[in-house]
Amino acid sequence: MDKLSREEVLHVAHLGKLYLNEEEIEKYKIQLKQIMDEVNKIKNLDIKESDFLVSPSDNINIYSNHEIKQVDREKILSNSCNRDGSFIGVRWYNND
């Protein structure tokens, strides 16, 4: 199968609350099929006996050795124009 059906594309668009025109539907038929093909490649891998991880990135986590520094609470609070005891006061907006 070269692409997804029109109904499958419209179902995915509905889930994402997207409204597609006919040109976009045709375009996404092919693109979504390509995505599904890549997902199926990963699903079909035999990884039960393997310790590797699949990641779209080669980034490696590097943890820093930064020390936690104590700060002067009064100095920080003195910069606030709205203070509530030992807290910085903020306005609360209710959008209802």
What are the per-10-residue average pLDDT scores of the chain (96 residues)?
82 92 92 90 78 71 80 86 84 72
Give the pLDDT score at 52: 67
Q: Where are the chain's structural domains? A: 6-43
Closest CA to 20 of 3, 34, 36, 11: 11
Give the pLDDT score at 90: 81
Give the pLDDT score at 54: 66
Q: What is the pTM of this model?
A: 0.45
